[in-house]
Amino acid sequence: MEISRRSFLAAAGTTGTAALLGLLGLDLRPAAAYAQQTTPRRGKVYTTICPYCGVGCGAIVEVDDAGRIVNIEGDSDHPINLGAMCSKGASLYQLHDNPRRLRKVLHRKPGAGDWEELTWDEAIRRIAARVKQTRDENWISQDANGHTVNRTDAIACLGGAALDTEECYLLVKAMRALGLVYIEHQARI
Amino acid sequence: MAVKALLIDTVRCTGCRGCQVACKQWNKRPAEKTEFFAGPGYQNPKDLSKDTWCLVTYNEVEIGGRFEWVFGKKQCMHCLVPACVSACPVAALERVETERSSAVIYHKHKCLGCRYCMLACPFLVPRFEFDSPNPYITKCTMCFDRQEQGELPACAKACPTGAITFGDRAELIAEAQRRIATNPSVYHHHIYGLEEAGGTCVLHISNVPFEQLGYFTDIPHRALATTANTAMQAIPLVMFGAAVVLGLSYQLRNRTRQGEPPRAHG
Amino acid sequence: MTNHWIDMVNTDVAMICGSNAAENHPIAARWLQKAKDNGTIILSCDPRYTRTTAFADYYCKMRSGTDIAFVGGIINYALQNDRIDREYVRHYTNATFVIRPEYDFNDGLFSGYNPDGDPPRYDSSKWGYELDESGVPRRDMTMEHPRCVFQLLKKHFARYDLETVCSVTGADPETYRKICDVYTSTWAPGRVGTWLYAMGTTQHTHGTQNIRTYVILQLLLGNVGKAGGGINALRGESNVQGSTDMALLFHILPGYLKTPAVGLETLQDYLNKYTPKSNDPLSANWWQNYPKYMVSLLKAFWGDHATAENDFCYSYLGKISGNLSYISLFEAMYAGKIKGLFCFGQNPAVAGPNANKERDALANLDWLVCVDLFESDTSVFWKRAGVDPGQIQTEVFLLPALASMEKEGSVVNSGRWAQWRYKAADGPGEALSDAAVITRLVLALKELYQQGGQFPDPIVNLSWDYNVDSHGEPDIHMVAAEYNGYYTSGPNRGRQVASFAKLAADGSTCSGNWLYCGSYIDYADGKGPELEDGPHITQVRGRKTINRMAKRFAEDPAGLPPGRCIGLNPDWSWCWPVNRRIIYNRASVDLHGNPWDPKRWVIRWNAEAGKWEGDVPDGGWPPMANPDGSENPKTKRPFIMRPEGVACLFAPSLADGPFPEHYEPLESPISNPFSSRQYNPVIKVWEPDKIGTPDEFPVVATTYRVCEHWQAGNMTRNTPWLVELVPDVFVEMSPILARELGGVRNGDWVIVTSKRGRIRARALVTNRFEPFFVGGRYVHQIGIPWHWGYNGLATGDSANLLTPHVGDANTMIPEYKAFLCRVEKEEVA
């Protein structure tokens, strides 16, 4: 096919213009498609209460199909904070997704310089044995005046203002049943 | 088309930095290594960066002879006529307005990495991932994706006091004016961002002049792109005009040589 | 709090004193801002200019440790200027009560002081009410009797004149006068003021009396029981309210019952001792129900084993004597008396006062069990810098715990709202909930004690019936249902008890915590929106139940009757007691049951219907007066938890006096100008040789918090986004002090030393601190946030290495907020 100089120039010009236009990004896709480019950050919503101060702000935790938390922000339905969060509450995602979180039971032998790992069963077995030994060796059923005392002063329990109320109840129930009297926590200090 | 904006009222701000962390959280930007503080008060990091798109500033000022602590917020101003958009040769930065949302957004897949946007922005907002082998520009997106879902930008949602409000630009301007008019002795009589750089979609009101908050205040009240635009728009005219002038001069010259045979070209 | 968070929006004047609310309870600022939009005035009174001050309308500075002088002056101002809500004071406080002639106060001491004893103590029988023939306190309704509480109060606070107060506190007189004027303007029945306080108030050797000054002032102004009023402690942890209610404290049992003292051999001895009596027929004396709550608690703990025949297993409870609180605990540990320690989400190596001593004390333990989200400073005390692990024989277990969003349960905020929350995702690795840890341990101990040991019965017979799964997780709903309580016998057996009014002392009910009775009820006892479907409808032990703590029906302000105060949100979660959102609310109405302040009423008497409308009334009894003005014999006085039935301006049951009196902190730069008693005369001074004096330690120091970190830092110092904001410990000081130290610039390292220890920190030089002109000279003060420790993503020296082992006379809360130190610029080598 014969190409005249004119037609060549015309064809080149048209192609070049089109390429240039393309390069300049004159995209006819809707701008809203931009919103889809970002990593999915929405999912099934669970409600929670911030574990930090005593205001008790509501937060929502969004979980993807694989069960991973993808977003934590304020709960707009909560009447106290209406979705607002301070710096601590806003950072809750990193309380969960954090390589420094403890994942295993750790144990330190007397005199040792570092941790070793234990299973839960082994740890509970050992702790229960320690508690029983200390309690039994330091049990006081009566004081010097013959009064019934039924306690041990050799074991103490601290904690915990960040535990759920149900956990606090179980803790006080357990510790009082063991006869501990040195029971204290953050409310005192 | 929506023209959405944020109104930052530093009089209401308590410096809690819920906004700063909410931005990090939504966008999952990593924390930077910091030491002590960047200046008086608790500011950290020192400045906006590739990972910090929203920064609360802490400013110790004097108001009426009295010491006061006033907090500011630095972020992309989402200009109505953005200089960064104008400067970008590949339109990687774009101002979009849809039915319900608006923002100046960034398409990373188009970016050349030329950083002209950083030079162009009068607020020194866009930041570059210098330490990445595949670097991009980053900046606040006014949570355009959240807007499209009918949600508030993360910073606006996090703010407890209404120091950050999100809404239609016109309505927020009216609200800003109302607050200033109702408390004329409290507020500094200026809405930062109303006209700076031709008008932005992040408006600030405060109880002190804005240079005391570390904001840039020497910004012309017209879109910075207009100078370039004016020059750029002149180019075709200039080129066409030059072509005409040269063509005419050629003709004139030729006419004086009429009658001579055309010269052979080697 | 007597009120709650949203209620702040209802106030005319918010006094933030002893709290830095915008810093540590930032979302409170939402409601304070809304209040400001309506003209509310915010007052910030603090040793330094804080983020709260930036938000406030007026700021008055005061030296740490001088709150009683500061607020005593406002009390005096109110009394001298007759800015008193007289009718409120007359009828709802013990202002009219006549005190017996043995009561006296002279040169800083009340009558009945016994200087011997460690600590010295008062014989509070010297502060008794004069009783009439029926054994009811005698009242002078004119409040003119020289020995009536009102006159004694006036006389006591007459010494707190403006000049004296300003010279002790270092406050600017003009600003102070303005504060007095603005705050006491809430005396008028149509105006109300709220008092917000926190650790700035409590962490002193006179912390309880600090609070007492607020109480006295609020009562004089008629602000308690009203919307926008109250005494509002801003509690610091998400569930310190719940943990306190559940009594993880040596001296109480769940529901604020008392731990039995040595000598109370039988249940009846115990109940006789602790069940208060009142001869006043108009006093509800609610604690007369004590036996019902105690027996129900014992039934919850030991189930069917607890019967009337065995005193409901009362003998299973350990009996106490002496003070076993936190400081005593660590003193005992230091002395080698404590062998084993559990730390459930607590970090004493950073949080405890005199941290060097407390860290050394840990080395005396045979074993330590820490349960936490991150490796805490406490859990690695044995490998901190400066110690040789080979010399420390403590066996340590560090158990990985689940965080809030990884488990289901409830937490109680400062407004007493118990809010349920859900598990969103599994926790990391093998982490378990604290409930599972406790459960597994209890079940293991039960097994061990089946085989014998010392006094095994309380453990073997402990009821632990929670459908425990294979990981050891109990059904948390069954736990909540138990602390609510259910019927153990009779026709209602198994049914949840719907209200603590239904609890019995005969063993037919169990309830782990009477205050929470009503939080988890049978569906059949529900009413209103809670009958609708939702996450709050649950099933426990085969019964359809309502977990009121999980209710999520927010208040619709448009749906409220005219004038009703906003924010009560009765159907959002559940609060104690019995979902009463503003307690003492029967003091918000006059004797006829009409609100003192109709434009934001809390309750009001509907005479036609014969009942109260609005919030749950603080006792459903009718108003105190009949329509003709005569006393209604069916009524009860409004402060139902006091045997007197009225609130106490004069409080005879406190260890350090019925009235607050200014004393200097244990370590102070000046002599006490109010009396020759330098510090609180009845505190226990644990280490007399460790008290710093101004010649060696001339600078006042205090400790506080920043918004971005939380308590001992174990969570926030491991959170990168928060560490980015505030990475390092710092000392705030005025530029004048910085200059006097040889030109310390912002960011320079300084060494701060006290009698107990030293720390190294960066100086933050700021105009937010100014020197105080007290006792005729300038005194400097510095402040140190205490969140740092040697372990974590962010580390730094702990401010508590400096603080003393000394605490409040009533609560033994350590005096973290005012001590002495010396500051030096660190010499660069």
Residues of chain B contacting A84 with CB distance shorter than 8 Å: 18, 157-160
Q: How is residue C93 annotated by DSSP?
A: B
Helix boundaries (H) for B106-224: 116-120, 144-148, 154-158, 169-182
Q: What is the DSSP string of A117-144?
A: EE-HHHHHHHHHHHHHHHHHHTEEEE-T
Which residue of A52, A111, A127 is in closest CB contact with C397?
Answer: A127
C643 pLDDT exceeds 80?
yes
Chain A: nearest CA to B22, how far in angstroms?
A: 5
Report residue B254's pLDDT band, with 50, 70 and 90 as the boundaries. Answer: confident
Residues of chain A contacting B103 with CB distance shorter than 8 Å: none
Q: Please state the pTM of the whole predicted model.
A: 0.94
Query: Right CATH number for C5-233 from 3.40.640.10, 3.40.50.300, 3.40.228.10, 3.30.2420.10?
Result: 3.40.228.10
Report residue B262's pLDDT band, with 50, 70 and 90 as the boundaries. Answer: low
Q: What is the DSSP string of C637-703?
A: -S-TTSTTSSB-SS-TTSTT-SS------SS-SS--SS-S--S-TT--BS-GGG---TTT--EEEEE
State the pairing for strand pair C395-400/C367-372: parallel
Check: CB of residue C392 under 8 Å from CB of residue C364. no
Check: CB of residue B192 under 8 Å from CB of residue B50. no
State the pairing for strand pair C758-765/C730-733: parallel
Q: How far is CA C216 from the centre of its chain?
A: 17
Task: Report cis status (omega within 30 of 0) of the bond before B40.
Answer: no
Q: Give ipTM to 2 decimals.
A: 0.97
pLDDT of residue B265: 56
Check: CB of residue C505 under 8 Å from CB of residue C275. no
Report residue C478's pLDDT band, with 50, 70 and 90 as the boundaries. Answer: very high
HSE-CB for C777 with a 13 A CA cutoff: 8
B234 pLDDT exceeds 90?
no
Summarised one tens digit per residue, pLDDT across range B49-81 is: 999 999 999 999 999 889 999 999 999 999 999
Structure-token pair, residue C394:
């403590």
User: What H or E segment, with its residue span, contains residue C520?
Assistant: strand C520-522
Q: How far apart are CA C721 and CA C744, in angstroms?
A: 29
Q: What is the DSSP string of A143-183?
A: -TTS-EEEEEEEEEEEE-TTS-HHHHHHHHHHHHHTTEEEE
Q: How far apart are CA A37 and CA B145, in angstroms?
A: 9
Q: How far apart are CA C551 and CA C535, in angstroms?
A: 7
Average pLDDT of chain C, as a whole number: 97
Mean pLDDT of B22-28: 97
| Among the listed residues A179, A181, A185, A182, the one whose alpha carbon sits nearest the alpha carbon of residue A159 | A185
Give the residue carrying structure tokens 């609510």: C484
Which residue did the predictor score with more confidence, C404 or A41?
C404
Q: How far apart are CA C166 and CA C172, in angstroms?
A: 7
Which residue did the predictor score with more confidence, A16 or C411?
C411
Summarised one tens digit per residue, pLDDT across range C655-679 is: 999 999 999 999 999 999 999 999 9
pLDDT of residue B258: 63
A48 pLDDT exceeds 60?
yes
The fraction of chain C above a pLDDT of 70, given in percent, is 100
Mean pLDDT of C140-162: 98
C736 pLDDT exceeds 70?
yes
Summarised one tens digit per residue, pLDDT across range C175-217 is: 999 999 999 999 998 999 999 999 999 999 999 999 999 999 9
Q: Do A183 and C250 touch (CB under 8 A)?
A: yes
Check: CB of residue C548 under 8 Å from CB of residue C536. yes
Q: How far apart are CA B220 and CA B197, in angstroms?
A: 6
Residues of chain C contacting B16 with CB distance shorter than 8 Å: 22, 26, 29, 51, 707
Largest distance between two CA atoms of chain A:
124
Q: Do A35 and B157 touch (CB under 8 A)?
A: no
A36 pLDDT exceeds 50?
no
**CATH number assigned to the domain covering A42-101:** 2.20.25.90
pLDDT of residue A28: 39
Q: Do A25 and B22 touch (CB under 8 A)?
A: no
B226 pLDDT exceeds 90?
no
C829 pLDDT exceeds 80?
no
Q: Do B162 and C730 touch (CB under 8 A)?
A: no
Summarised one tens digit per residue, pLDDT across range C740-755 is: 999 999 999 999 999 9
Residues of chain C contacting A177 with CB distance shorter than 8 Å: 301, 316, 442, 458-459, 462
Q: Which of B12, B13, B23, B25 best probes binding to A when mutated, by most A CB atoms within 10 angstroms? A: B25
Mean pLDDT of C92-116: 97
Residue C326 backbone zone (phi > 0: left; psi -120 to 50: alpha; other: beta) = alpha
Which residue of A48, A103, A134 is in closest CB contact with C421?
Answer: A48
Check: CB of residue C142 under 8 Å from CB of residue C149. no
| Adjacent-strand bridge partners of C790 | none
Average pLDDT of chain B, as a whole number: 93
In order of C122, C661, C774, the CA distances from C675 in angstroms are 17, 9, 16
Mean pLDDT of A78-86: 97
pLDDT of residue C444: 98
Q: Where in chain A is the domain with CATH 2.20.25.90?
A: 42-101
Report residue B103's pLDDT band, with 50, 70 and 90 as the boundaries. Answer: very high
B257 pLDDT exceeds 90?
no
pLDDT of residue C44: 98
Q: How far is CA B24 from the centre of its chain?
A: 19
CATH 2.40.40.20 fits C688-825, yes or no: yes
Which residue of A25, A87, A90 is in closest CB contact with B91?
Answer: A25
Which residue of A55, A79, A156 is in closest CB contact with C329?
Answer: A156
| Among the listed residues C545, C597, C506, the one whose alpha carbon sits nearest the alpha carbon of residue C189 | C597
Mean pLDDT of B121-140: 95
Which residue of B21, B98, B157 is in closest CB contact with A91?
Answer: B21
Structure-token pair, residue C404:
């809030």
Task: Tell me the angle at which helices C207-220 and C67-80 cross, rounded to the nearest 10 degrees.
Answer: 20
Q: Do A42 and B149 touch (CB under 8 A)?
A: yes
Nearest chain C alpha carbon to A157: C342
Q: Where in chain C is the domain with CATH 2.40.40.20?
A: 688-825
Residues of chain B contacting A86 with CB distance shorter than 8 Å: 16-18, 158, 160
C692 pLDDT exceeds 50?
yes
Q: How far apart are CA C56 and CA C52, in angstroms?
A: 6
pLDDT of residue A16: 53
pLDDT of residue B228: 73
Q: Do C51 and B37 touch (CB under 8 A)?
A: no
Report residue C627's pLDDT band, with 50, 70 and 90 as the boundaries. Answer: confident
Report residue A44's pLDDT band, with 50, 70 and 90 as the boundaries. Answer: very high
| Among the listed residues B30, B25, B38, B57, the one whose alpha carbon sits nearest the alpha carbon of residue C793 | B30
With vertex at residue B171, the alpha carbon angle to CA B167 and CA B172, rounded to the nearest 5 degrees, is 65
Secondary structure E strands in C382-452: 395-400, 409-412, 417-421
Q: Where in chain C is the domain with CATH 3.40.228.10?
A: 5-233
3-state helix, strand, coil in chain C (%, to 5): 30, 20, 50
Summarised one tens digit per residue, pLDDT across range C33-51 is: 999 999 999 999 999 999 9
Give the residue carrying structure tokens 């002063």: A153
A159 pLDDT exceeds 80?
yes
Q: What domains, with CATH codes, occur in chain B?
A: 4-80+138-223 (3.30.70.20), 227-256 (no CATH)
pLDDT of residue C392: 98
Mean pLDDT of C689-697: 96
For C482, counting Cβ atoms within 10 Å of its Cβ (0-12 exposed, 13-18 middle, 19+ buried), the class is buried
